[in-house]
Amino acid sequence: MNRVYNFSAGPSMLPLEVLQRAAAEMLDCNGTGQSVMEMSHRSKAFEPIIANTEALLRELMGIPAHYKVLFLQGGASLQFSMVPLNLKKTGKAAFFDTGVWAGKAIKEAKKWMTVDIVASSKDKNYTYIPKVAKVEGDYDYVHVTSNNTIFGTKMNAFPDTGTIPLVCDASSNILSEAMDVSKFGIIYAGAQKNLAPAGVTVVIIREDLIRGPNNAAAGDLPADVPTMLRYDTHADEGSMFNTPPCYSIYVMGLVLEYVKKMGGVPAMATLNNQKAKILYDFLDSSSFFKATTAKEDRSLMNIPFVTTIDNKEQAEAVNKKFVSKAAKAGLVNLAGHRLVGGMRASIYNAMPVEGVKALVAFMKKFEEENK
């Protein structure tokens, strides 16, 4: 078996032992004589799978009892619409504009809400996180993106929003370090970076924000909100209103078991800091490569870097050469996003330290050969 180190921003690599277990259970999961892919989502065979996945996520993230955990579809992108549709009351929302995905969330929210941009780093191509200690106003919610996959920044502190629900897109750094769930009204995350294969989206929502017939205290939603876009639809049915992404939920459970065995989120945070330090230390000492983001806001998950070559055409040629040669060396998906250029190494939870060390060794050799 010739495994590569996959630095893709998503879908990302999964822990090897998780893949091996999934492969071993492909034809017969838990002695049922069937694959999870074949199971009815309402069967006794699948029931313990989804229950175990939720229980592990609650344990690892310290999710309070008064929060619902939903397993939905549509990626984080669908949440850009579901959040304003479900939380709209006064019709105003506050957003932190810190990158492409925050921008997409803003664009969707504007279809139903008046949006105030309370902070933005657009002036410097999103290379830093604007610092805002407190947000006040008659807002239905405040929206932040905790980690910016394309630009390689992360929020190290979240604003105090008082009684205003704080909503967080945590798609690219969930489970990478501790999050105090109680500070948020909603946390949502596409799974394909730290949790599972693409297909399932986790939504952690405080119960008082779920509006519908069974949550009368929070008020009913307008009748024109589509059934599938209502949080109460899924909360009332335990994520079983329709067929959920069963196999992705199953693999998520395996990933969460792996994280627990490794020592939980604190152990992941230690490992992620170690990996990021190895790569950032090299970038900061190199005369050929450099990181693109402000040091105080650097992501642990996504690390963009460029060469120090001033000539644009020459730099682009070297970038292509780097990505091509790296792939031949078993270091794949290192091309940078067009908005940043250069290269990008995504080093999510499943990336081992050895992968980062192999990348740095390759970069040192490449630098020597191309100065």
What are the tens digits of pLDDT across the range 109-132? 999 999 999 999 999 999 999 999
Nearest to 77 by CA among 155, 171, 146: 171
Token digits for 275?
């990996």
Q: Does domain 16-261 have CATH number 3.40.190.10?
A: no
pLDDT tens digits for 191-247?
Answer: 999 999 999 999 999 999 998 776 666 678 888 899 999 999 999 999 999 999 999
Q: pTM above 0.75?
A: yes
What residue segments make up the domains of the chain, in order of their start? 16-261, 264-370
Q: Does domain 264-370 have CATH number 3.50.50.60?
A: no
Among the listed residues 68, 88, 154, 193, the single catalytic one is: 193
Nearest to 14 by CA among 194, 271, 199, 173: 194
Note whether 16-261 and 264-370 share their fold: no
pLDDT tens digits for 264-298?
Answer: 999 999 999 999 999 999 999 999 999 999 999 99
Nearest to 199 by CA among 249, 157, 164: 249
Among the listed residues 101, 140, 275, 297, the single catalytic one is: 101
Nearest to 49 by CA among 240, 231, 177, 188: 240
**pLDDT score for 223:** 86
Among the listed residues 140, 169, 232, 297, the single catalytic one is: 169
Assess whether 193 carries a catalytic annotation: yes
Assess whether 112 carries a catalytic annotation: no
DSSP state of 92: E
**Residue 164 above 70 pLDDT?**
yes
Assess whether 101 carries a catalytic annotation: yes
